[in-house]
Amino acid sequence: MKGKYLIGIDLLKIISATLIVFHHYQQDFHCRFPLVNFFGGRYYFGNLVELFFIISGFVTLTNYKKDSIFNNLKHKLLRFYPMSIIACLFTLIVESIILYIDGETSQLASLWTVKVLVANLFLLFSGWHPLAMLGINNPTWYLCILIQCFLVFFLILKLSEKFNINRLYLFLVSIAIAVLMKRLNIIESDTYRGLESFFLGTVLCEILAFRLNAEPVFEGNRQYYLSVMAIIGCVLALFLLYRYPLLQRLILLFGLYPCLIVIAFCSQSSDNRIITTLGRVSFEVFIWHYPFIAFEKLILKISGVGDIFRSYWTMFTFTLIVWIISSLLYHYLEKPLQKMLFSTKARRVFN
């Protein structure tokens, strides 16, 4: 894939982040719309998190560089911990003010316990049983589980390198073990969802990026036919979703999402600066949209309005505002933080 850019992956991230904002908007403001509902409707849009995990697995394997488990994990954690901590603290302050106004002193005190602060600031509130709880910035449970996925992923690659085992087989075994452990109630549902989806992403990456793409004949006709097959697969998956809505997670995970990844992979092109930037900003949208929902509730409470009439228009407007503010946070907060953390001087400190 040298010299190529997977513009489709960023498009998937942009669309998925937007849809998850719609989902939580309806969920937290308890509103229903006349046509399509992103929460409480026929389809559960919370299953988009599986797509996030698949993309994470795909991208993590694509960008993997041989190094120690500690260095690889440190690099990943430094990428999302700073902004996650800031978003968590912001939400904590906003929620505390709301509880103070409502006179909920006991709930307010419970937010500031050592256990709650440690679990939320260090992303341990989901998947880490002793600290399991509803998160302050709850959508970041995805990041809690992603840390577990990274740990298993880097361990697998070290085993593969040391014992010369085909890593594709290890990825497939990881999926099977996750399913088995869930059936035996050894791991929690969130951990199961994350491991299964993440390693499905690594399997897709291994097959597409390191096997098919390594063949000189992949370019041209083969890539075209693969795209056509994936589009047909998407149509079939959508039909199955319509006919069997109770099986939607299974159809999405092993049908629609893999086909979308294949289409995204086949959309290799030269870099597109706008889409690349929006793809990166999608992370800010994901971790900040819930704090902004809490902040809107606080503004409405302070103003005495209580609530407003909710519609598609208010949802779209809110989502646009989230994207604009997230873009500003990315450019003027996250990028400077990342530059500081990954500077030569900082690397010496962390090493």
Q: Residue 239 is which amino acid?
A: F
Q: How far apart are CA 248 and CA 262, in angstroms?
A: 20
List pLDDT tens digits, range 57-67. Answer: 999 998 888 77
Cβ atoms of 45 and 20 closer than 8 Å:
yes
The whole-model pTM stands at 0.92
pLDDT at 351: 40
Tokens of 19: 């849809």
pLDDT at 149: 96
List pLDDT tens digits, range 312-338. Answer: 999 999 999 999 999 999 999 999 998
User: Is the confidence at residue 266, as pLDDT, over 90?
Assistant: no
Mean pLDDT score, 2-30: 89
- Percent of the chain exceeding pLDDT 90 equals 75
What is the band of 341 on the pLDDT scale with cuts at 50, 70, 90?
Answer: confident
Mean pLDDT score, 163-169: 94
Strand partners, 268: 6
Mean pLDDT over all residues of the chain? Answer: 90
What is the band of 273 on the pLDDT scale with cuts at 50, 70, 90?
Answer: confident
Strand partners, 269: 5
| Between 51 and 218, the higher pLDDT residue | 51
Backbone torsions φ then ψ of 268, nearest 5 degrees: -60, 135
Backbone torsions φ then ψ of 278, nearest 5 degrees: -65, -35
pLDDT at 147: 96
- Judged on CB neighbours under 10 Å (0-12, 13-18, 19+), 82 is middle
Which of helix, strand or coil describes residue 41?
coil
Please give the C-alpha separations between residue 81 and each of 5, 35, 198, 351, in angstroms, as whole numbers: 26, 38, 19, 17
User: Is the confidence at residue 348, as pLDDT, over 90?
Assistant: no
List pLDDT tens digits, range 223-246. Answer: 788 889 999 999 999 999 999 999
What is the band of 72 on the pLDDT scale with cuts at 50, 70, 90?
Answer: confident
User: Is the confidence at residue 48, as pLDDT, over 60?
Assistant: yes
List pLDDT tens digits, range 185-201. Answer: 999 999 999 999 999 99
Mean pLDDT score, 81-99: 97
What is the band of 269 on the pLDDT scale with cuts at 50, 70, 90?
Answer: low
